[in-house]
Structure 1
């Protein structure tokens, strides 16, 4: 089927697709023919930019003809369609026209006579020695404007040799533009964009995980960025990204980096990152000793201890001249000065892209940096990062900006008078203000006490309650909001009285018990209006409490999606904490899936269930106003309505991410054994990929009909993930399929879902697909799936193994864990 679609695409395209990814002396490419990489990911052939008749040899993504990532003859275009690509007699790749004139050549310095060129699935065109497979030349060593996964940006400070990107002259002209980009490895690696010889943008220093001056850069653990140093002094920057997700970073003709990823569902390139991201990101926007902050007006200001060099120009908005020091430092004062012995001090500024031209001292603790800088008269600022060490500045502080998040702390050296004057002013202002505020607060407190007593007598026996938005007066005892509950947050939901819920559930009769979760028991109820509800009541024995209760109030009241359970209201009365949800006729997934007395879930229902779960996660991760990581995805937290539509519930463990945040750490690991990703369970690090791991476990459970915990008492078992991995490697995945759904007609689709589940539970987050990619895989928009790698937690996952962990854990009866990470 895939081959048929490929042939059809070739016939419909402007050229003919040669069924090979090689170029040899006997197999040539003639315009408009193309060759395609073995995985049908990239094409090599001829193209014509818009508004021109010039022809170029290039490489582009198979899915999008105009997403050019490499151009051979960018400064020497063909004027007609007579172009031919072949291997020359001396073993080079050459581009010639109909007159046999050479328009471009690989110019490999040591080409053997017997060579061939091959287009790889990462977009790299390699020239190889046929006799031994040795790579002689590669397009990744001579890039144009695209930074691709596996492509290395090199810099050798000893020899001056570099691998750089160069922008197109214009969007229609691939000739060499004025902007270049690459790695600068002096002192400490940084990525630069240059306009000619002048810096245009800078990433900030590399700390072993990320570039500290890029606010929204993913951590190395998720994105696979790395900086490597070779024995010959060459330093390389590379990204080893998840191979089947198409992404690229293009250096545009206007000097901006634009990262895009292919959206399979909408068939467009989504922009995921841009640099410079704003005007403050432009190199040296505010001049020497200036600080750029978009939240300030004006955005440029002088660092502490400095003033504008040209006040008139500065006030006009011309900040290029920068700032100069106002007061001499200790080393600059003459010996006759009365304040000669007054030591300098440091002013701290946070969330900073630290200045350029730093000197680095590795292996030094943060507390030592200040003393080292003070003892050096030429040191004007310092900073510290655990991955770098101490950074010192002895010249102008160039290209300083404050970031919305991230960055480092910069300590700027100033004369003692600068901070002493500030302290005197603060004392003069703060002391009277503080005394006045204390008097005002005392008066407010006593007034409030008097009004509360007076109002209490009038409201005795009366309470305002709600029934899904309808208010009325009741004679029941009043709702008591405990002191430790955030009352304004509760105002976002309708409040139900305890008496109303007691009546609706027949005094919480056991016959109305729907089940028990980590929060406590859940009861079915019926309001006076006839509406069915589910009441989740906090159990005093639960491992969860007020924090989880308030977390769910804040989160779920703001979320609306057909695959998320709808919260109708809550109750905080008589020491009780309860949630009121819409009633789900088919209860939770674990009941429907694992209880053999229930109706059998056929394959189509199961497929629709984890497709619906995926859509709910996509909303949480990408589409909702708040970016949510659920952290406790498991069958008991998936509810099913009367149409078997899945709805994600229980947001007590969920966490909100900032708009530019992609990963977080926690000292309190919460969740359920068997569903937590390894980087979260073992290191407290969680991200969207943590939920993807849990989703993968759910897929394997739904397909097999077996609980992840069903393996715990089997000493010879490797757990569900290990069992699935073992059968996968034995080409025997049929054995793990629930026999109640196994049929020849659905076998291929079920095996494909097992494949997707194994991709989701891979050990390292960078290897796991995003939830949007998972949905594309499920809908077969991505047909060719990558081979899964080793899943996390495939060692024995029994209780004795869990008990050997060095972290302190407690496990509740409902398998919810609360883990406090502590050092040995």
Structure 2
């Protein structure tokens, strides 16, 4: 009985295996009468690509899409991007008996037509290993014939190896990428990637305006096409990017195409490389496994050539109220009016406006200071608005207009024709306010014409300051005078200033605890040199994050001596009737009585320590019942034995707890109410370096209310000199 039972099962098993084999062999092809629904997929013969129905995150729309089988579930092609299908209506892809490749769904018998052929043709649709989805006419023997339609002729936002970008003059067809409308809507957005055969270059346009170009194709590479992180180390050739570029002109076609040269060394386990140039909804171009190719989203239309970040950006006409120091930065928080009250926003409910449209409209509106994209655009307008940054991750995020501190330097546009720049042989270098002088990156700063300082006095003081040599001071290289213009030339710092990182939600994580502690210690060393070891005692009087510049290794350099006072070594303090500086960093005796000394800088240093530890601005506290400043907040936490709550949350993984607690302790000693009770900066350096030294208990710090000092503070106003001091005019932009 046993053999008989076995022989009866075998035919059933063979039939099952035969059916399974037939199903596998046809996984890449949809034949006439077949149906592909939301639970089934086509997979190319070598399992490189998959085609099926795709639903973007946080939506209920379905799209026919193709994606890399082994990659992220990100479409490289979408067949019905302008006609989404409700997900719950059971979409089905089929080739009907009239020769149409269509998507049907359960809403009133509606359908979306992908391709329609002549009636009576026997068609099939196959997903190829290239990612191309092709419709062919089946011959009588069942083999595929001529390609009647292909997805490569209808690209969406992704260029795959072997796809064409250009024009077919015979058919009038343009092969162009167009971005998604936003991150969850595949409809055509504001940006396009095109091939310009007349110049042999790639173009990214926004609403027709050229934002970025690849530069001319030369031999086998494109001028501006390179890996950003390594462009100063390796040449921008095709080999480094693993691409082989082709420019084809034949049979009425002019197009650009790329293929992959080989599996690069960085591909793990020599797996198949997933490549596809994606033009995202913000206009940026990147490949799946590679660094960013181009950043058109950072192009603003002013000259940015030569800067690594902005390589390839094009110029276009700018509103007169904008300048090359301004950009929009994504920040969490909200606006309030300077004189009190909530700042109301303005809405534009036009749902056809994309994120980049919102930016463009705000950029061209001289009153606009921020925008946000949702169902249309939301804007904040007015000159009396103040942005209050929040550390709460759930807070509203807006694109806020950010202006680099005025006078930090000049770019090529403002400097190129000025006699002082010509005198320094300056050509474009195009970081934030830098120019290039004889192969060296420099920064050029223009003094305010209202400074009231005489020419001889200006020269004498600059000669003195230029003698300062310390690793934690920015190096002054020289000066230039032309008519009423007075310029200072100094080293250019590649990482801008401390506030650029410290108060940016997207950049503060680059400052781990070790970097922050090095900045605290380095700044203290720089102050120690100014107070004790330079030939003259120098009080800075404007120590704050924006005046701490960072070099390529994130080492701090104290800058901006525009408010500095140079004392004789035997002088202890001075008095002035007018206070200059920055609210929040002023010592109480200076803000109230005009008395300043080396202990004034120590107080500012203490505030700076709290900001570095917490990642918060001293004046970011506006709660009615809460503390008025970061100093008061730190003191309240200390009294409750909760000082570590001051720590920036991004430091949790890198923080040395004892070291951080010690820095908070030192900061509280520096901001004590009476100047005599504060340590000298020499004491501070010893306390930072010697962790075994016992620290005295801090006394209550000075709490300064806004109304108590505003009447006495006049920023950028020079004062008369006392017998004990020299002066430097404040540096300011025009």
TM class by smaller structure = 0.3 to 0.5
Q: TM-score, length-normalised on structure 1?
A: 0.35
Q: TM-score, length-normalised on structure 2?
A: 0.39
